[in-house]
Structure 1
Amino acid sequence: METRLLRLYGRSDLRLEFAEVAPPRDGEVLLKMAAGGICGSDLHYYQDGGFGPVRVREPIIPGHEAAGYVAALGAGVSGLAIGDLVAVNPSQPCGTCRFCREDLSIHCQHMRFMGSAMHLPHEQGMFRDWLVVPAVQCVSAGTLITPGEAACAEPLAVGLHAASQAGDLEGRSVLVTGAGPIGALVAAAARHAGATAVIVTDLADAALERALAMGATETINVRHAPESLTAFENDKGQFDVVFECSAAEPALRSAIATVRPRGLIVQVGVTGDITLPLNALVGKELRLIGSQRFDTEFALALSLIADRRIDVRPIISHHFPINEAVQAFEQAGDRSMASKVQLTFLP
């Protein structure tokens, strides 16, 4: 059987190609892919050939947030049935390294993450019509939601993991800087965890409108009304927790200025080296921690999506068929209009 797939050869060099698909082996399933979301890392690979030290050094199939229908089961597979809609967990920890043995598989020393160019050979991703994958990576999405919604399990898991890094959010006041898909999902996760005030900032009105739809209680366009955020610096800061999702130095400085003494800043966005006002960090006795991808939250994310306790539909802005992938990636690069741009694979 033959499948269409997308293969990236370097900056702005994305090609639609064909390849043979083998039948599933023991413990594997064959999926007819239905929807896949373009993530920020996919976009960096396409626009810049990589991000930071991670570069595309050989052809790679991108895509690590996707869903499809079970088409065939390998021997020994249980818990799944032909026709089930599933989301695919892209993380594949080794299970044997030091951190896996310490129940810290998120920091696995030999992590295989689908669609990643971090290591050689690159880990191939999910932007293809047909995919054979270990059954343990497939989580059932139920029957109430669309494949596009199911494909949002991975980015929502990122938001849930960030929220878990903050501890108990019940009754807390929260700032989220950056209203891209991850920022909007962090806002949704914070509200789900009980935060009473979730204020989201961004430079684009369209992104802020989606954040409101995802549960933000207030939004601030810091390009047009920066003074609205500055007001939260009064009395040494107003927020209990800040989730910094933009990876912009000014946003992190605002986080330090607006969080209350002994408050917490969870850094979700990634970038290169930046400078920080350490005097303020020390003087306010702030805690600054990172949040990388997700750990055990994938199944929870899909469960929350499956019964729409968290409705991800507001962040899905565009759909393109796989044969219009270049247009999809170009659209994803336009933050004034796009949020989560998805590819579709069904005929």
Structure 2
Amino acid sequence: MLAAVLHGAHDLRIEAREDRMLLPGEVRVRVRAGGICGSDLSYFNKGSVGDFKIREPLTLGHEVAGDVVAVAAGDGFAAPAIGTRVAINPSRPCLHCGFCRAGRENLCRRMRFLGSAALMPHIQGAFSETVVVRADQCVPVPADMPYRLAACAEPLAVALHGVRRAGRVLGANVLVAGAGPIGLLCLAAALHAGAGSVTVTDLFDGPLAIARRMGASQAVNVRDDAGGLEHLAGAAGGFDVALEATGSTASIVAMPALMRPGGRIVQLGMLPPGATPLPVNLLMAREIDLVGSFRFHEEFGIAVAALANGRIDVSPILSATFPLAEANAAFALASDRAQGAIKVHLEIG
């Protein structure tokens, strides 16, 4: 099978990889579409994501959907029938540790997440013609659901988990920092949860225009209007909830001053390695909660359902589709924020 394999920063090759035999409880999926994620872009451009560095060739990709083509029964998992269209949950937790038993599988210390360099050997990803996953990682979708829409279940699940970590959002004045894919999906998820208003920030006007289309109350270009966000925060007495989706040190450092007393900041973006200086006295004096949000668990099934029944519309973020053979061009477009591309997909099978 052919796969998009990264050998180092800016060294992405389309090359042959061998299929492996199925173990009991596993299925083989013919991948039809895959979305390029921010972590894929970080691996591609930097050779790392946060503290996770590429140490061997890595097949990228974890936002994928396709068709089940083979099943190995057994091991206690109910497998979808051959021919079923599925969205693939890239998380493969151990199911036995304390975190898994407590319903926090996303914190599993033995997690095997598709397309990740967190472990050695790396967990190979799914930008390949076929991929083998555990049966419980396959979530059936309607037979007429476009593959690239089904592939959006993973980033939407990230956003849903981030909003869940924010606590009570109903009626809240929400700030979303970053109008990339996760930021825009956080906007959609916050509105779905009943947010009273959502302000979105970015450095480029193109993504902010999409944020307005998706229901943002305010869209602020913080590069061109340096004081605009502070003015909005001051006029409203501060934001109740902030979702930091840029992974920018400057963004999280500035955020506590924008919050009302008792507010909550959720960090979704992966920050650069090392320590980040924060105004901790401000967090303390205003009793502002700062919490992390890492991946997702049960939100994946919720995301599939929300996409299938149209409760959350992600069509504004779908930007372009490239064949697998043109993966480098796809990554170049997805990396160029100035061109306004949000979610770029690979058409694989």
Deviations 1:206-237 (A, max 9, x none): 11122223332221111122332111342793
92-101 vs 153-162, which deviates more?
92-101
Q: Which runs of 5+ in 1 are unaligned?
A: none
What letter corresponds to residue 256 of structure 2 in structure 1? I
Aligned-residue Cα RMSD (Å) equals: 1.8
Q: Which residue of 2 aligns with 1:258?
A: 258
2:131 is the alignment partner of 1:131:
yes
Give yes or no for contact 1:179–1:207 (8 Å, CA) kept in 2: yes
Deviations 1:125-179 (A, max 9, x none): 1001122222110001113421001101111100000000112211111010111
2:58 is the alignment partner of 1:63:
no
Taking the TM superposition and a 5 Å limit, the aligned residue runs for 1:225-236 are: 225-234=225-234
The whole-number CA distance in structure 1 between the counterparts of 2:239 and 2:226 is 16
Instruction: Select 1:318's aligned residue among 313, 317, 320.
Output: 320
Secondary structure of the 1:302 match is helix
Give yes or no for contact 1:267–1:289 (8 Å, CA) kept in 2: yes
Q: Which residue of 2 aligns with 1:38?
A: 36
How far the C-alpha of 1:78 sits from its partner, in A, is 4.6
Q: Which residue of 2 aligns with 1:100?
A: 100
How far the C-alpha of 1:254 sits from its partner, in A, is 3.6
Give yes or no for contact 2:73–2:79 (8 Å, CA) kept in 1: no
The whole-number CA distance in structure 2 between the counterparts of 1:111 and 1:81 is 26
Deviations 1:21-63 (A, max 9, x none): 3564532222221110111111111111113321110111111
What letter corresponds to residue 327 of structure 1 in structure 2? A
How far the C-alpha of 1:301 sits from its partner, in A, is 0.6
2:346 is the alignment partner of 1:343:
yes
**TM-score, normalised by the number of residues in structure 2:** 0.93
Question: Structure 1 pair 230/84, CA: closer, same or farther in 2 (3 Å)?
Answer: same
The whole-number CA distance in structure 2 between the counterparts of 1:25 and 1:267 is 37
Q: Which residue of 1 aligns with 2:302?
A: 300
What letter corresponds to residue 328 of structure 1 in structure 2? A
Taking the TM superposition and a 5 Å limit, the aligned residue runs for 1:55-204 are: 55-75=53-73, 78=78, 80-204=80-204
The whole-number CA distance in structure 1 between the counterparts of 2:236 and 2:194 is 24
**TM-score, normalised by the number of residues in structure 1:** 0.94
17-26 vs 122-131, which deviates more?
17-26
Q: Which residue of 1 aligns with 2:47?
A: 49
Q: Which residue of 2 aligns with 1:328?
A: 330
Q: Which runs of 5+ in 2 are unaligned?
A: none
Instruction: Select 2:2's aligned residue among 1, 4, 26.
Output: 4
Q: Which residue of 2 aligns with 1:282?
A: 284
What letter corresponds to residue 19 of structure 1 in structure 2? R
How far the C-alpha of 1:82 sits from its partner, in A, is 3.2
27-36 vs 108-117, which deviates more?
27-36
What letter corresponds to residue 343 of structure 1 in structure 2? L
Secondary structure of the 2:58 match is coil
What letter corresponds to residue 156 of structure 2 in structure 1? L
Give yes or no for contact 1:236–1:259 (8 Å, CA) kept in 2: no
What letter corresponds to residue 226 of structure 1 in structure 2? A
